Amino acid sequence: MRGRDLPASSPFSQDDGSADPLLAQVLAAYAHGDVELRAVVEALGRTRVLVPVLPHPTGQQPAGDQVGCHDETAGVVAVAGPDGRTALPVFTCVRSLLDWRADARPVPATADRAAASALAEGWPVLVLDAGGPVRVVIGRPAVQALAAREVWSPAVHDGVVDEQVAAAVRSTLRGVLGVLDAQPEPGDRTELAVRLQVMAGLDRAGLERVVARVDAALAAEPTVAARVDSVELRVVR
């Protein structure tokens, strides 16, 4: 593997930098819509990834969506995810890493260690193979499951909201002032959407107060906080 000098005792000493065959197969199926993100996360949890480290700062605005480094001389690169959150890029193979950033040094790590490191830095998202050929964004609940070596159970599976998540949303919002009904459903731009029926006659300020109460209630609900990565509200009167 280019750019590394690992001792013979390292678990990665025989690593040639190629992608894990099973993970590559799952990614190809994911790209064609044949499997969901859950299958990617499951395969990822059983393999190693390559974390890019910059050998030195460039002193210039980084190319692409890179936003920073871990330290001043050499460090792990952070990137901006699609929703603006800071993410740790990880790669399946040396080729995909170098295609994304030719001056990055590949450092092998198990997926759980990479996920734990990202969370420790306050980076809640992983981006797998940021430069392609199959770019996958892995949100906070899945990253937390990877770090804990646990099975990730998505909030939405096969186009259906998980019943535990749906029950938590409905129960939490039932007593929120101004909300008549709340129905969770798969989101378009987010993982989960909540269709809110609100009281008639609310002016703009009143509607904003209701939405603020809903946001606070969902953020404080343990099941929602642990299992839902992002939520959008769809307000109907």
Q: How many Cα atoms occupy the beta-carbon half-sphere of 82 within 13 Å? A: 12
**Do 138 and 161 fall into the same domain?**
no
**Do 27 and 136 fall into the same domain?**
yes
CA distance 82 to 66: 12
Residue 130 within any structural domain of the chain? yes
DSSP conformation letters of 175-191: TSTTEEEEEEEE-SSSS
**Do 51 and 143 fall into the same domain?**
yes
**Do 227 and 205 fall into the same domain?**
yes
Kind and range of the H or E element at 40?
helix 37-44
Residue 14 within any structural domain of the chain? no
CATH value at residue 194: 3.30.70.1350
Range of the domain at 188: 156-236
**Do 130 and 41 fall into the same domain?**
yes
State the chain's mean pLDDT as an integer. Answer: 87
Which is nearest to 146 in space by CA: 122, 125, 121? 125
Lowest mean pLDDT segment, chosen from 2-16, 38-52, 150-164: 2-16
**Do 126 and 74 fall into the same domain?**
yes
Residue 12 within any structural domain of the chain? no
φ/ψ of 169, rounded to 5, equals -65, -50
Task: Provide the H-helix boundaries in 45-162.
Answer: 94-100, 111-120, 140-147
Residue 217 within any structural domain of the chain? yes
Chain Cα centroid distance, residue 63:
22
**Do 140 and 204 fall into the same domain?**
no
**Segment 58-86, tens digit of pLDDT:** 443 333 344 344 444 457 788 887 788 89
User: What percent of the chain has a predicted confidence (pLDDT) above 70?
Assistant: 86
C-alpha separations of 107 from 53, 92, 100, 146 in Å = 7, 11, 15, 18
**Segment 117-168, tens digit of pLDDT:** 999 999 999 999 999 999 999 999 999 999 999 999 999 998 999 999 999 9
**Segment 178-201, tens digit of pLDDT:** 999 999 999 998 999 999 999 999
